[in-house]
Amino acid sequence: MRSSDTSVISKIGITTATSLVIANMVGTGVFTSLGFQVAEMPSTLPLILLWVVGGVIALCGALSYGELGAALPRSGGEYHLLSSIYHPILGYMSGWVSATLGFGAPTALAAIALGKYSAAVFPEINESHMAGGTVVIITAIHAYSIRIGSLFQVSSTVLKVLLILVFIGAAIFIPEPQDISLAPTTEDLKLIVSPSFAVALIYVSYAYTGWNAAVYIVGEVKNPSINLPRSLFAGTFIVLLLYVGLNYVFLYSVPMNELSGVVEVGFLSAIQIFGHTGGELMSIVIAVLLVSTVSAMVFVGPRISMTMGEDMPLFSILGKKNPKGIPVNALLFQMVITLLFIYTSSFEQVLIYASFMLALFTSLTVFGVIVLRWKHPELPRPYKTWGYPVTPMIYVLLSLWIMIYVLRDKTTETLIGLAIGAAGLIFYYINLVWFKGKLRNEA
């Protein structure tokens, strides 16, 4: 395996790294998940608690990843970390999942949601073409310049956070709010310990997906031993606060029976807060916010396939960078995968495919904090996980709880996700056989 690659021409600072964490999380999930949760648990306290629990899980993961990324500073995320901690096969499988489901699928989800919000105002728009066109344009921006891509990312993320705060603040003046309460009832307690709560957490976990975004580009972060842990924690904590506030506003403004099973919950809430015309305007704003999410995933995701290309001769074309230090081939590879998801799968299918597999590999990575301390106690650790070993174990155990119930209730989608992950093994061994054959020929 190669040593840490820090040869890129441009480096990003803590502001861009934190904005990538925020932008990777705040997007599709928070503006689309509540409708699926309400269908299973029509009660305010369990619904809000879902977002608190999901945030705590993400914070525990961020604290753990901060130690791993500072100790093993190379871009590539779980692919690099699992390869170093356990075995290259496990790292490759996670890299394959990240390159296909981990970023291709969430990028498609953000783009699909953007298309739906746009079509809610302009019915003549083709949702799929709007989604696909957005992905192509943003890929072109990030393929052109790291500096311009970073500026676009930071500015779009700041705009996103400010508009969400305006949205939350405006709910105070809603003329006919819903009569909701956070006071616990016996029924609430039953829901909180039910399988429905665990399954609903998969949607919340998806919404928090991205708390580890800065790890994927750690090789391009200035002073990563300090900036990486800070960006992970700060970004995740900010998002936790935004999510709890935003979901309270959705429940405060829209009757639960109208939210149930609906994807465009933000659109319905905006109509109640700003009126129909204002709601349409806010729907356009939400679509603009999702541009930041797509941008963040287009920025981060290709760094995984790039790192795999640096290590795997079969995929060496993905590891190549242009003179500006940008992995253009990897960007194009992820764009093609994203477009395939946009034009072939439904929103909920893509969400379940991605969420289960991401939970599996991030759990293995978080547990890797414990494994790495046992295997390599001498390794320099510029940052150590706060609350170790409690924080990593909270993440692992809660994630395992979610995965068990999702496997039981969403068996077909979960098995498809597992099959996509297993396909990575085939390519791993093809690469191994091809590389050995190449060495024999050169000898």
Span 113-128, pLDDT tens digits: 888 878 877 888 888 8
Residue 25 CA, chain-centre distance (Å), reads 5
Average pLDDT over residues 434-441: 56
CA distances from 247 to 197, 383, 385 (A): 16, 33, 30
Has residue 373 got a pLDDT over 90? yes
Has residue 231 got a pLDDT over 80? yes
pLDDT at 7: 40
Has residue 361 got a pLDDT over 90? no
pLDDT at 2: 39
pLDDT in tens, 255-279: 888 887 776 787 788 888 888 777 7
Determine which helix (DSSP H) or strand (DSSP E) holds 295, and give its type and residue range.
helix 265-300
Average pLDDT over residues 369-393: 90
In the structure, what pLDDT confidence band is assigned to residue 353 with cuts at 50, 70 and 90? low
Place of tokens 């890299």: 95
Dihedral angle of Cα 400, 404, 405, 407, to the nearest 10 degrees: 130
Q: Which residue has the higher pLDDT, 291 or 350?
A: 291
pLDDT at 75: 67
Spatial distance between the Cα atoms of 427 and 366, rounded to a whole number of angstroms: 25
pLDDT at 364: 92
Has residue 351 got a pLDDT over 80? no
Q: Which two tokens stand for residue 430?
A: 């093809």
For the chain, domain boundaries: 14-437
pLDDT at 3: 36
Binning the chain into helix, strand and coil, the percentages to the nearest 5 are 80, 0, 20
Question: Among 227-241, 322-336, 419-433, which is the least confidently predicted range?
Answer: 419-433
In this structure, is the dihedral angle defined by the CA atoms of residues 417, 423, 427 and 428, taken in order, positive or negative?
positive
Average pLDDT over residues 133-156: 78
Average pLDDT over residues 224-240: 83
Average pLDDT over residues 201-212: 78
Q: Which residue has the higher pLDDT, 133 or 92?
A: 133
**Residue 84 in contact with residue 1, Cβ under 8 Å?**
yes
Average pLDDT over residues 368-377: 92
Has residue 54 got a pLDDT over 50? yes
Percent of the chain with pLDDT strictly greater than 90: 8
**Residue 8 in contact with residue 326, Cβ under 8 Å?**
no
pLDDT in tens, 165-198: 888 888 888 878 888 888 888 888 888 877 778 7
Percent of the chain with pLDDT strictly greater than 70: 87
pLDDT at 415: 82
DSSP state of 98: I
pLDDT at 8: 40
Average pLDDT over residues 342-368: 77
In the structure, what pLDDT confidence band is assigned to residue 28 with cuts at 50, 70 and 90? low
pLDDT at 120: 72
Average pLDDT over residues 28-53: 82
CA distances from 36 to 162, 251, 266, 286 (A): 26, 13, 13, 19
Residues in the chain: 443
pLDDT at 6: 39
Mean pLDDT of the chain: 79
Average pLDDT over residues 234-262: 87
In this structure, is the dihedral angle defined by the CA atoms of residues 246, 252, 256 and 257, taken in order, positive or negative?
negative
Has residue 95 got a pLDDT over 70? yes
Has residue 5 got a pLDDT over 60? no
pLDDT at 4: 39
What is 14-437's CATH superfamily?
A: Amino acid/polyamine transporter I (1.20.1740.10)
In the structure, what pLDDT confidence band is assigned to residue 153 with cuts at 50, 70 and 90? low
Name the most confidently modeled range: 48-57, 213-222, 297-306, 425-434: 48-57
pLDDT at 146: 67
pLDDT at 435: 58
Average pLDDT over residues 137-160: 76
pTM exceeding the 0.95 threshold for the entire prediction: no
Q: Which residue has the higher pLDDT, 253 or 17?
A: 253
pLDDT at 48: 92
Average pLDDT over residues 287-294: 78
pLDDT at 36: 77
